[in-house]
Amino acid sequence: MAGSDADGATTASGRVPIEPQSIDAPLTQSAVFLVLTVGDDPGAVAQVRDVLAGLDELVKTVSFRDLSSALTCTVAIGARVWPALVRRPMPAELHPFRPVRGSTHTAPSTPGDLLFHIRADRRDLCFEFERILLDQLGAAVTVVDETIGFRYFDVRDLLGFVDGTANPVGRELPESTIVGPEDPAGEGGSYVVVQKYTHPIEAWRALSTEQQEAIIGRTKADNIELDDAVSGQKSHKTLNTITDDSGEEVDILRDNMPFGSPASGEFGTYFIGYSRRLWVIERMLERMFIGDPPGLHDRILDFSTALTGSTFFAPSADLLASLDDDPAAADDASATVNDSPDAATDTDAAPAPASAPPPGPASAAPDGSLGLGSLRP
């Protein structure tokens, strides 16, 4: 695969080299997925706003210890806290994660106001960044989940298959991940969905390689796509292939990572998907958990249990940096998180139909970066 850098140069990794404030960080050896909730009082919201607006300086401070480590932090904000924290209209599709209930498996909805996706080639730099970040946020936040991911061999998950092989590259990347002018409130940003899955490894290993490949839809050793099923039970690969109303395939960017501990016996995959269109990920989950046709769920779910589910929006770098410098939007003592629309996590709502038509293509920033609220020096 090949990609382009800010000057149009080709890279062997196939991913756009990250520039300041872009999300498409290089694949790294380590990552932290940190989900937080924000306190309801205006003081907590103001403290979080100050930290987010100055996060670029924190990245510079920590990354200076090793500039080659590719330290980045992508920040994304949930619907419950968006109005009070950002003080601007919400992106059109942003709402709390909607649970998806199939006849056998459920994708649960769990709380989450902030997501920090921290990546580096050194675990110690991820640790140091997270430590200082939480010190700065203090009592304004509560940790909901902290998952530490690691790169496993040649970008495989713990089920033994290559993960993220269908990611868009080159010109397709901004078209798949960056919201365009059709939604002014979200322009330049990206929807983010996270889920934490655990795997019963011994049960998976009891299957033959051929059975595993039929479930995934790819060969295990060399990652070759198998033919799609015309009818009946579909593979994980097929169920995750989404097309719009005109029949064109639409993609998302996955930065999944394995996590686990042999001592505890807990193994899993942390799913994180960036998309220009939230409905694309929602339709993937409907096809996986409900089935296509309904009743024939994704068989990978028999070996992958979803423990969490949260939806966020990663704002543009410009919006993130300007959170605390808008005098016209000064804090109002009554502007608490509880006053925000969709304040509660929508744990009982049925999934909305994922049938929104895709908007027109987005463009990369003039410097070649994706221009999202992800920070690096």
Break the chain into its structural domains and give their ranges.
Answer: 14-194+253-264+308-350
- What is the distance between the alpha carbons of residues 6 and 12, in angstroms, rounded to a whole number? 14
| CA dihedral over 53, 57, 62, 67, signed as positive or negative | positive
In a 13 Å sphere around the CA of 163, the CA atoms on its Cβ side amount to 22
At 6 the pLDDT is: 35
At 25 the pLDDT is: 67
Contact of 166 with 256, CB cutoff 8 Å: no
Q: What are the distances in angstroms from CA 281 to CA 130, 176, 183, 209, 253? A: 28, 11, 18, 28, 10
Kindly tell me the burial class for residue 328, based on how many C-beta atoms sit within 10 Å of its own C-beta (0-12, 13-18, 19 or more): exposed
At 371 the pLDDT is: 46
At 344 the pLDDT is: 42
Per-residue tens of pLDDT for the chain, all 377 residues: 233 333 333 333 444 333 334 567 668 999 999 999 999 999 999 999 999 999 989 999 999 988 888 899 999 999 999 999 999 999 999 999 999 999 999 999 999 999 999 999 999 999 999 999 999 999 999 999 999 999 999 999 999 999 988 899 888 999 999 999 999 999 999 999 999 999 999 999 999 999 999 999 999 999 999 998 878 999 999 999 999 999 999 999 999 999 999 999 999 999 999 999 999 999 999 999 999 999 999 999 999 999 999 999 999 988 999 998 754 554 443 456 765 444 444 444 444 444 444 444 444 443 334 445 455 45
At 157 the pLDDT is: 96
Cα separation of the two ends of the chain: 26
At 334 the pLDDT is: 42
Catalytic residues: 163
The single residue listed with the structure tokens 């902030």 is 114
- What is the distance between the alpha carbons of residues 372 and 174, in angstroms, rounded to a whole number? 10
Question: Judging by DSSP bridges, how do beta strands 3-4 and 266-275 pair with one another?
Answer: unpaired
Stated pTM of the model = 0.85
At 178 the pLDDT is: 94
At 324 the pLDDT is: 84
SS3 30: strand
- What is the distance between the alpha carbons of residues 177 and 91, in angstroms, rounded to a whole number? 14
Contact of 275 with 43, CB cutoff 8 Å: no
At 312 the pLDDT is: 98
At 338 the pLDDT is: 62
